[in-house]
Amino acid sequence: MNTIDAACVIPWEISINSPSDTPSNGAEQATSELWTIKRLLSWTTDFFREHGAGQSRLDAEILLSEALGCPRIELYTRFDEEPPETVRGIFRDWVARHAEGEPVAYLVGQKEFFSLKFEVTPAVLIPRPETEHLVTEAIDLIRDSKADSVPIIDVGTGSGCVAIAICKHAPQANMTACDISDAALDVARQNAQAQGVSERIDFVKSDLLTHVPQPTRFHLIVSNPPYIGLSEKADLDKSVIDFEPHLALFSTGPDGTETIQQLLEQSAQRLELEGYLLFEISPMIAEHCCSLIQEHTSLQLERVVKDLAGHARIVIAKRIA
């Protein structure tokens, strides 16, 4: 999104019935027209679209439904209702901040992932649909194991969305979740409590697997590691670079595979024989990641999973020695 002084152009901040009360697209509106839910959504959708939002209507609906404290679908049964000024004030503030780049998930404090709601704060990455492939592949491998208890660790757990989603759908998951950030672990613990799986997850502060207690070995190691190269900073969207935690975004070097290489080395020591490492990647580093695995004597490349857009997204390796 472009950076703008959004608060100066949101029309309903002055007076609901003021002469300036017109949409930014110049459409004629009677000065007496009320700012109903329908009109607020229409104006805000156009406003977001003009300033580069990729999901303009969805973003407008999420913000307004949260300000109203109602399910998003309920907006469509309340089109003619005019929200009270307190609600319009909250919505106005969120619209201005989102237009300046602040992600919707941080504004409303939550994000849906794998059909579950997760608390998110600026201490954690916002869960993304692509990461759901990591959960799906892990669940399939857990079921294939036929074991009553499957030891798993989620490395760099962040909000805990991956670990928690796995636990919700795989009762035999014996889960550890680690992160280097205390603030992220606090969010993850709260999410685990909210989803009723806190007693099944052992949370550990650790830089990758460095401080995860020995001699535990895992059947699955899953991770959405920092895989953006430092050289890519200038190309990132403002909503990412200015708001999401850099510690969880960026690898330790220019090409994005440096942290992954550390994860490979540690995983080779902490996986059970015939155990699996699954990690998310950027499509740009897929070939390099596969080469790193193929160079490793203890690991074997199993497959690369593509996302719904056809891009390489999840790499799966198996410990063979």
Which tokens is 78 given? Answer: 């309340």
Read off the pLDDT of residues 195-226 as tens digits, 9 standing for 90 and up.
Answer: 999 999 999 999 999 999 999 999 999 999 99
Q: What is the pLDDT of residue 52?
A: 80
Residues 62 and 189 in one domain: no
Can you tell me the mean pLDDT for 282-286?
A: 97
> Residue 10: which pLDDT band, with cuts at 50, 70 and 90?
confident
Residue 310 covered by a domain: yes
Can you tell me the mean pLDDT for 50-72?
A: 93
Residues 78 and 153 in one domain: no
Domain closes at, from 85, 108, 131: 108
Residues 99 and 144 in one domain: no
Q: What is the mean pLDDT of the chain?
A: 91
Residues 197 and 254 in one domain: yes
> Residue 27: which pLDDT band, with cuts at 50, 70 and 90?
very low
pTM: 0.90
Residues 124 and 65 in one domain: no
- Give the whole-number percent of the chain exceeding pLDDT 90: 86
Residues 66 and 125 in one domain: no
Residues 267 and 302 in one domain: yes
Domain closes at, from 58, 78, 108: 108
Question: How far is CA 46 from each of CA 26, 82, 105, 189, 264, rounded to the nearest angstrom?
Answer: 11, 19, 20, 38, 46
Residues 34 and 181 in one domain: no
Residues 101 and 162 in one domain: no
Residue 1 covered by a domain: no
Can you tell me the mean pLDDT for 64-77?
A: 97
Can you tell me the mean pLDDT for 6-29?
A: 45
Q: Report whether pLDDT(26) > 60.
A: no
Q: What is the pLDDT of residue 51?
A: 83
- Give the whole-number percent of the chain exceeding pLDDT 70: 90
CATH number at residue 167: 3.40.50.150
Domain closes at, from 108, 135, 164: 108
> Residue 300: which pLDDT band, with cuts at 50, 70 and 90?
very high
Q: What is the pLDDT of residue 54?
A: 72
51: amino acid identity, one letter? H
> Residue 13: which pLDDT band, with cuts at 50, 70 and 90?
low
3-class state of residue 226 by DSSP: coil
Candidates 219, 185, 180, 216; CA nearest to 203 is 185
Residues 154 and 72 in one domain: no
Q: What is the pLDDT of residue 35?
A: 94
Residue 44 covered by a domain: yes
Q: Report whether pLDDT(78) > 50.
A: yes
Residues 89 and 72 in one domain: yes
Residues 48 and 127 in one domain: no
Residue 138 covered by a domain: yes
Range of the domain at 90: 6-108
Residue 305 covered by a domain: yes
Q: Report whether pLDDT(61) > 70.
A: yes
Q: Domain total for the chain?
A: 2
Residue 130 covered by a domain: yes
Buried b (16+ CB within 10 A) or exposed e, 104-142: bbbbeebbebbebebbbbebbbbbeebbbbbbebbbebb
CATH number at residue 21: 1.10.8.10
